[in-house]
Amino acid sequence: MATTESLLTAEDFLLLPDNGHPTELVRGRIVMMNVPYYRHGKICGRIVRFVGNFVEERDLGTVVSNDAGVITERDPDSVRGADVAYYSYRRVPKDADPDGYPATAPEIVFEVCSPSDRSKPLQEKVAEYLNVGVLVVCVVEPADQSVDVHYLDRPLVTLTIDQELTFPGILPGFSLPLQRLFK
């Protein structure tokens, strides 16, 4: 006799008790994640500080971190944990503080690679972010000190240690020299 697997929705996933392990919801199924390592956390912290300070000083929006959930697919649902994400006040109004996952995608998502990350699942995650409305996905590679900048409508751009990360159409005036990110 065949058994029927019950898929979770984003709303079901949000209500699950914390089991002490990082997880994501991928097409209705819970996927276990590895606990990030020290350098991963250090680089995420720097991204939060650089982007967050810029955004806060100009009162442009909100920067979230710590795998804050982003709904990337529906029916079946996927909820991905962005290492760092930027939401403008156009997408999540200043006076809003969503109790759960925002109904809209952030403008920018940063994913910092860990040694255990594999190319195919990471590319699938990038595609999900772009397909749901994220404008730019930055995949930060600490091992070779580079950042792959993914857009839905433009070719991939790979930045190296001697270049700067900018977002002219999203955060005009923002510039992050990668030497500062990876030092």
- Torsion, Cα 47 65 146 27, to 10 degrees, reads -160
pLDDT in tens, the chain (183 residues): 555 679 999 999 999 998 888 999 999 999 998 888 899 999 999 999 999 999 999 999 999 999 999 999 999 999 999 999 999 999 999 999 999 999 999 999 999 998 777 788 899 999 999 999 999 999 999 999 999 999 999 999 999 999 999 999 999 999 999 999 998
Q: Where are the domains of the chain?
A: 10-182
- Please give the Cα distance from 105 to 38 (Å, whole number): 28
- Write the single-letter amino acid at 23: T
Query: For the chain, how long is the longest CA-to-CA vector?
Result: 62
- Please give the Cα distance from 41 to 62 (Å, whole number): 19
Superfamily for the 10-182 domain: tt1808, chain A (3.90.1570.10)
What global pTM score does this model have?
0.94
**Tokens found for residue 153:** 């409508």
**Tokens found for residue 180:** 């500062």
pLDDT for the residue 70:
98
Q: What are phi and psi of 32, to 5 degrees?
A: -75, 145
Count of other CB atoms within 10 angstroms of residue 177: 14
